[in-house]
Chains A and B, each alone.
Chain A
Amino acid sequence: MNAIEIRNLTKSYGDFTLGGLSLTLPTGCILGLVGENGAGKSTTIRLLLGMTEPDGGKAALLGTDIAGDLTAVKEEIGVVMDEPGLPHCMTAEQVGKMMTGIYRNWDAAAFTALLTRLDIPAAKPFKELSRGNRMKLGIAIALAHKPRLLLLDEPTSGLDPVARDEVVRLLSDFTRDETHAVLISSHIVSDLEKLCDYIAFLHKGQLMLREEKDVLLEEYGLLRCTAATLATVDPAAVIGKKESPYGVAAIVRRTALPAGVTVSPVTLEELFVFMVKEERDESAAV
C-alpha cells in the first residue's frame, strides 16, 4: 500500500506554479523532498493536508482522497510545519495536556519520554524556547500519538548537529515499522542522504526527478577532468557541469562513460546543485 499517492497535482499562486506533481511513497519508506526555498515543498505538504485547494490533480493520504474530509486520517498523521505554531504562553506540559483532547491515541508517557530524550524543557513557555527546541517540541508532538505517516517540513532547520543527529535517529527508529512512512522536505541534503530511501528533486514547482537514493548514487558520478576529456562523453549523459580555469567538474551517468574515464562518488547535494545550475544555464541560454 502507498502511504502517499499524488497524481498531476497543480497549484498556482501569482508567479509560482506547482506543475503536475506526481509522486508515490510506499509504506515503510522515507521520501526526501529536496528543493531550494520557494521550490514548492511547503506548498506540496499544505496541499496534502487540505490547507489549500489544488487547482488540479488528485492525491491520497493513507488511502484517503485529500478532496474529502481529512479529519479522521489526520489521527494517523504526524506533522511538523516549517514554523512550529503554538501559543507562546504555553509550556510543553500544557501542550501535552491539550493534545490529550485532540488525538485519540495520544500517549502522554511517550510524550514525556520524548521531551526527556530530546532535552526539551517541559516547564518553559514556548516563547522562551530556542528555535531548535521549538522544532524538537514539534517533532515530539508529531510522534507522541503513534502516527503511521509523518509529514515533516524542514524539521531539522535550526537544530544543532547533535540535535539533528538525534532527530535522524528518531526517524530511523520510526520507519523500522514497515507500516510507517515519512515524507520529509529539507534543503539540508546531507540529513536526507542519511535517512531517505527515495529522493525527489523539486525546482521552481517542477519535479526534476524521483528515484531511489541508492540508485541515484550508483547511477551518477562526479567527473573532474579537462574540457577536452569531457567532450569525449556523450552530452546526453552529462547532468550538469561547472567550468573553471582549472578544469571541469561534471555529474555524469556512469554507464555512458568511455573506457578509461573514471569518476568519484557523488553526493545528493552535488547532484541537486549541478542539476539546478544546468537548468538555470539552459534557461539563460534560451
Chain B
Amino acid sequence: MKALLYKDWLVMTKYARTILLLDLVFVAVGFFSPDTPFFTVFPLAMSAALITALISYDERFHFDRTCDAMPVSRRTQVSEKYLIGLCYTALLFVLCLLGALRHHRAGTPELYATVITMLCAGLLPMSLLLPVIFKLGSERGRLFYYVFYFGGLALAMVGADAAAEIRLNLGFPIVLLAAAVLLGIYALSWRLAVRFYAAREL
C-alpha cells in the first residue's frame, strides 16, 4: 500500500497539478469572498476528479497490468485509491470549513447545513463513480463521470438550498448522522469496487 501511495504522490504532483491548484484557488476564493455555497462546496467535489485522473493515468501507462503482475492484491489496488480519496476529502473539508466559519457562526443551523452539503459533495460523487470506473475502466466510465460528478454536485447544492428554504432546524447530531451515513455509503462503494475490480480482465 505504501509503495502505491508513494507512486501516486509522484503522479499527483506531476500530472494532477491543475486539479490541486484549482482546488486551492477555489478554497481561497471561498475563504475571502462573501458567502456563496458554491465556493465552499466545489473544491470538495473535485476529489472525484482527482481519483479518476489517477486511475486514468494508471491505465494509460499500463501500470494497472504491471501492478497486477506484482504481489499486490486487487483489493489493495482499489483500497489505495479509496484511501487517497478519503484523505484528500478530509483535507479539503478542513480547509473549506475554515472558509464556512468566516460566514456562519459556529453552532448555527446554517453552518450545519453547509457542513452536510460539503460532506455530500465530497463523498457522494466518489461513492457513485468509483465502482463504475473500477468495473468499466476510466475510458468507458467517462460518461458516468459527468453524470455522477455534476449530478452529485447539483444534488448537494439543491439539498443545501432546500434546507435553507424550509429553515430546517439542523443540530450537531444530525450532522454526525449525515457523516455516518455518507461514510457508510463510501464503505459500501469501496466493497463494491473491490468486487468489480477483482472480476475485471486486464
Contacts and interface: CB of A to CB of B under 8 A. Distances in A.
A72 B2 contact: no
B71 A87 contact: no
A51 B66 CA distance: 10
Interface residues of A, number: 32
B63 A85 contact: yes
B61 A79 contact: no
B57 interface: yes
Tell me the dominant secondary structure on chain A's binding face: loop
Contact of B10 (A46, A49, A50, A87): A87
A209 interface: no
B10 A51 contact: no
A84 interface: yes
Contacts of A49: 68-69
A176 interface: no
A284 B66 CA distance: 40
B11 to A, nearest CB: 5
Tell me the dominant secondary structure on chain B's binding face: helix
Contacts of B201: 51-53
Interface residues of B, number: 27
A22 to B, nearest CB: 22
Contacts of B11: 87, 89
Nearest to A50: B68
A229 B114 CA distance: 93
B72 interface: yes
Given A74-B70, A102-B71, A89 B202 contact: no
A71 B71 contact: yes
Given A49-B68, A50-B68, A81-B69, 14 more contacts: A49-B69, A51-B68, A53-B199, A53-B201, A79-B69, A87-B10, A87-B11, A88-B61, A89-B14, A90-B10, A97-B6, A98-B3, A100-B3, A103-B70
Interface of A: 46, 49-53, 69, 71-72, 74-75, 77, 79, 81, 83-90, 94, 97-104, 151
Interface of B: 1-4, 6-7, 10-11, 14-15, 57-58, 61-66, 68-73, 199, 201-202
